[in-house]
Amino acid sequence: MIADLLQGISAGSPLAPGLGLLAGVLLGLSPVALPAVPVVMSALSPGQVDGAGQRKAGVIRAAPAVVAFVIGMDGVLALTGYLFVQVTVLLARGAMVLNLFAAVLLAALGLRLLLRRASLCDQARRLPPRPSEALSAGLLFAVSGCPGCAPIAIGVGTAAALVGPPVLALLTVAAFVAGRAAVLLATAALGARLLPAGTDAVPWRRLDLVVGWLFLAASTYYAYRLLSGGVSTVLPGEPGSGLLP
């Protein structure tokens, strides 16, 4: 029954608020919601009856606390799901802007690396050794250093959500992260051995020059996708997405 209501909501029915209300009522009446009942009852039962048997605080006074409890329990998750879809739509609709931004940013960074006189490894900060600090650095780098990777990473996460059980989805995302990390580690190890930085006698072997050319190549790739029409702003399931007959 609730699945039918959710399907009606996702279909864009004008009665979506009413269907959402009904879904909330049915969820509250289902056995899975029983653990929340004692918590709500505690807001009304203990110490709420005076000596004459009159209830001191009724349902109306307890309603704000109950609503806040439900918002924290279910509303945040529902809002998270909604925001995830909205962010996905925003990234899909803005795919051309993201690709253009990535092309310009990578070109600027690549030219800076190629034209600078000092070595990249001598001046750039290294990756923080602590995982917590490295995590923060990765979040910042996802926006400033690799914006074109965001649609791919989100696409992997979205596809993982459709493959089956949550455990399988988490394993899929973990495998994606492991693959990315393995390539980065292998590249760094190979670069440290074959492309030592700060070698003025053989400038083409400097790591910053190699990275600069790689950035320019990546910028060219993003520009090619834009000019060739390879960037789509159509969401999966919409006409022209290739997922409909």
At 203 the pLDDT is 47
Indicate whether 211 pLDDT > 70: yes
> For the whole model, what pTM was predicted?
0.43
Q: Which residue has the higher pLDDT, 217 or 3?
A: 217
Q: How many degrees, rounded to 5, is the angle at CA 212 between CA 148 and CA 131?
A: 60
- The 10s digit of each residue's pLDDT in 122-159 is 444 556 667 777 787 777 766 655 655 666 676 677 66
Q: Looking at residue 151, what is its pLDDT?
A: 63
Cβ–Cβ under 8 Å, residues 22 and 7: no
**Phi-psi region at 235: left, alpha or beta (left = phi > 0; alpha = psi -120 to 50):** beta
Range picked from 136-145, 190-199, 232-241 for highest mean pLDDT: 136-145
Residues 75, 64: Cα–Cα separation, whole Å: 14
Q: Which residue has the higher pLDDT, 39 or 123?
A: 39
Helices (H), the chain: 2-10, 16-29, 36-41, 59-70, 76-93, 95-115, 120-123, 131-144, 150-160, 166-194, 207-227
∠ CA 134-169-138, nearest 5°, is 15
Residue 6, classed as helix, strand or coil, is helix
